[in-house]
Structure 1
């Protein structure tokens, strides 16, 4: 299962509580999706609000560097900052995929929740992390927005 320690090592800046024992049961780009013990990563204007994500179970978020975090976010709420959320999500997925390859016997896995067709296969929705990472890699390469390297 993806942990705060795994994710925080991918980003240079974070605020809120730094609890290495947080385990993310879900990673979602949709604030309105049920995301128990979730990591919310808004990748578009259609992702929804941080408040909705928290209401649906998010316990941390990836947030665009330089963008104001809403005042209603609790001070202890973990926020990881990136210059480009889509590239940040790509980093998370690639890191988790590498972990799964090395630990094939893992029983509990983090669930990734995406319903944006642009991030999935053309015809079918999938939760296969390898397919999602490949599609996000292709989607992100078509964008002209600068991200972290």
Structure 2
């Protein structure tokens, strides 16, 4: 599972609590999606609000550097800052995918939640991220099916 420490190693500037015990069950670009123990990464204006993400289970967020975090965000809420959220999401996914391919026997995996792939075809970058998420999620589902007949 993706951990606080994993994300911290990718983004050096943070605010909020530093808790190495946080394990992200989900990474989502959609505030309205249920995201238990989630890392919220808003990649567009359609992503929704941080408040909505928190109410749906987000326990941390990746945030654009230079953009003010909403005042309602709890002081202890972990925020990881990046120059570009879409690029930041890509970095997280590439790092996690590399980790999974090197450690294929991992039982607990982080689930990535994104918009409908059909809507993402407007931009090659977002489509690539959707494909990467599908690949990451399928690694776990293929392993679960192993030995089942």
Does TM, normalized by the shorter one, top 0.5? yes
Contact 1:113 1:127 in 2 (8 A): no
> Where do 4+ consecutive residues of structure 1 move more than 2 Å?
126-131
Question: 2 CA distance for matches of 1:6 and 1:52?
Answer: 24
C-alpha root-mean-square deviation of aligned residues, in Å? 1.8
- Structure 1, 92-101 or 112-121: larger mean CA deviation: 112-121
- Verify: 1:42 aligned to 2:57, yes or no: no
Q: Unaligned regions of 5+ residues in structure 2, if any?
A: 121-125, 139-149
Query: d(CA) in 1 for partners of 2:12 and 2:110?
Result: 23
Decide which structure has greater helix share: 2
1:99 aligns to 2:102 (yes or no): no
Aligned to 2:61: 61
Number of positions where the alignment pairs a residue of Structure 1 with one of Structure 2: 128
How far, CA to CA, are the matches of 2:137 and 2:17 in structure 1? 30
Scaled by the length of structure 1, what TM-score is found? Answer: 0.81
**Gaps (5+ residues) in structure 1?**
132-149
Point out the structure with max Rg over C-alpha: 2
For 1:101, what is the secondary structure of its paired residue? helix
TM-score for both structures, normalised by structure 2: 0.81
Work out whether 1:127 is the aligned partner of 2:134.
yes
